[in-house]
Amino acid sequence: MPKPNSIMAVLAIWSLSATVAESGIGVNWGTVSLHKLSPATVVDLLRENKVGKVKMFDADPDVLKGLMGSGIQVMVGIPNEMLGLISSSAGASDLWVQKNVSAYLGKGGANIRYVAVGNEPFLSSYSGQFQSYVIPALMNLQQSLAKANLAGYVKLVVPCNADAYESSLPSQGAFRPELTDIMTQIVSFLNSNGSPFVVNIYPFLSLYGNSDFPQDYAFFEGTSHAVTDGSNVYYNAFDGNFDTLVAALSKIGYGQMPIVVGEVGWPTDGAVGANLTAARVFNQGLINHILSNKGTPLRPGDPPMDIYLFSLFDEGAKSILPGNFERHWGIFSFDGQTKYPLDLGLGNGRLKNAKDVQYLPPRWCVAKPSTDLSAVVNHLKIACSAADCTTLNYGGSCNAIGVKGNISYAFNSYYQLQKQDSKSCNFDGLGMITFLDPSIGECRFVVGLTDSSASSFIKHRRWFIAWLWISWGVWIFVL
């Protein structure tokens, strides 16, 4: 562990630079993937694209080691499932800070600036499961940071979903009644410690979950469904949602609280409306809007401190309980290749691809021409309980490739996950290896990575089981 005086010297330098740094565009780096790029490759990709801010959902040691010496500002996360322990034990809080923050700071270390205490812990679907843990966890962690002489530098935040507040018009925004007291306490804590309010805003989910939601209102290109709120007019859902939060904060006495958008983005696959064109239009419109410094009607000329795009990569092992699109939010595909032209406004032009990515040989597993469909169902269950088959479902980019194409896609996804082991393409004689790329239109048959994590299937097997139970009925329909 670095010596305390060396940590403080580095933090003093970073703090000085932070006072003159402009707010800007960051990314969420999730790691629930089937094919993982090495952290070193990802950090090179971030630096090549001049991305200076990264938000994590845990404190993955491999990722943090990769970020050491990069200068990239980091927000590490504490999963909701850990809040109970940390809220009840000062010792557990001290140990977490020592292992996941102090250990990475100092000369040549990681520039950890925030600790996210939970992730959307007040989400209405959690039915209050984590609610009582948040404030005690904040108090213990603040004391732990103080013991490590880091309380003035590393800030605690609580990322909240936009469902924490509600209203019919932005100016009438208020926190949900059952959250008013706890939110007042949390915001008071954040304010007294110089922390921003972190919120996740998803216009896509508003569109996805409501057939009456006007599509053009989700974007930044102008709308015929503007919302008039007194003297203010809202032309996009993002501004309306943001100002609803501003109004909610004002109602509890913190109308000037700095706001960071912790997650915002648009998926490229897995649902109607989730495609490359829509994602490009939304994300580029969002970036241009934020960097124009126009702000919102309730905060003119005062845009969010920062926004973190969701997300850096597609994550093929994520839970799809919200929908198949959950695995397709990346601005890059799993292999670090750009999906569509996007300028982050960081003076670097369009996104640049990851370099020196090591792929497995260019070969694929497909169904034999003579495949008997009556014998294939169990093999599809095996393939799609391990690999990601979400693009085959309704709204997906591979939904229209036909029955034989569906089978081949599932076979190949499993084959690549198994590092092209020839036995994994057998499927009782129904599969065959080909050297001709079977990709069809926008439906891409992937080739795996040589440096992907072989343990990721075991680590995330619970999500595969969830996929099988939730989506198998849809899969049968696809066939």
**So which residues are the catalytic ones?**
120, 263
According to DSSP, the β-strands at 53-55 and 25-28 are parallel
What's the rounded Cα separation, in Å, for the pair 199 and 163? 10
Single-letter amino acid, residue 196: P
| Residue of 255, 227, 231, 225 whose CA lies nearest to 240 | 227
| Residue of 280, 171, 177 whose CA lies nearest to 229 | 171
Which sign, positive or negative, has the C-alpha torsion 456, 462, 466, 472?
A: positive
The single residue listed with the structure tokens 């799609």 is 384
What's the rounded Cα separation, in Å, for the pair 29 and 314? 10
Secondary structure of residue 113 in the 3-state scheme: strand
Which sign, positive or negative, has the C-alpha torsion 370, 373, 378, 384?
A: positive
Is there a contact between 268 and 279 (Cβ–Cβ < 8 Å)? yes
Per-residue tokens: 407 = 């089978």
According to DSSP, the β-strands at 295-296 and 299-300 are antiparallel
| Residue of 358, 428, 364, 419 whose CA lies nearest to 386 | 419
Per-residue tokens: 373 = 């469909």
| Burial class of 38 by CB neighbour count within 10 A (0 to 12, 13 to 18, 19+) | middle
CB atoms within 10 A of CB 24: 19
Measured between alpha carbons, how far is residue 128 from residues 98, 121, 173, 343 in Å? 29, 8, 21, 39
Is there a contact between 224 and 272 (Cβ–Cβ < 8 Å)? no
Is there a contact between 247 and 171 (Cβ–Cβ < 8 Å)? yes
Q: Give, in degrees to the nearest 5, the angle at Cα 196 between 241 and 164.
A: 40
What's the rounded Cα separation, in Å, for the pair 392 and 324? 10
Strand partners, 343: 350
Strand partners, 433: 365
Is there a contact between 392 and 410 (Cβ–Cβ < 8 Å)? yes
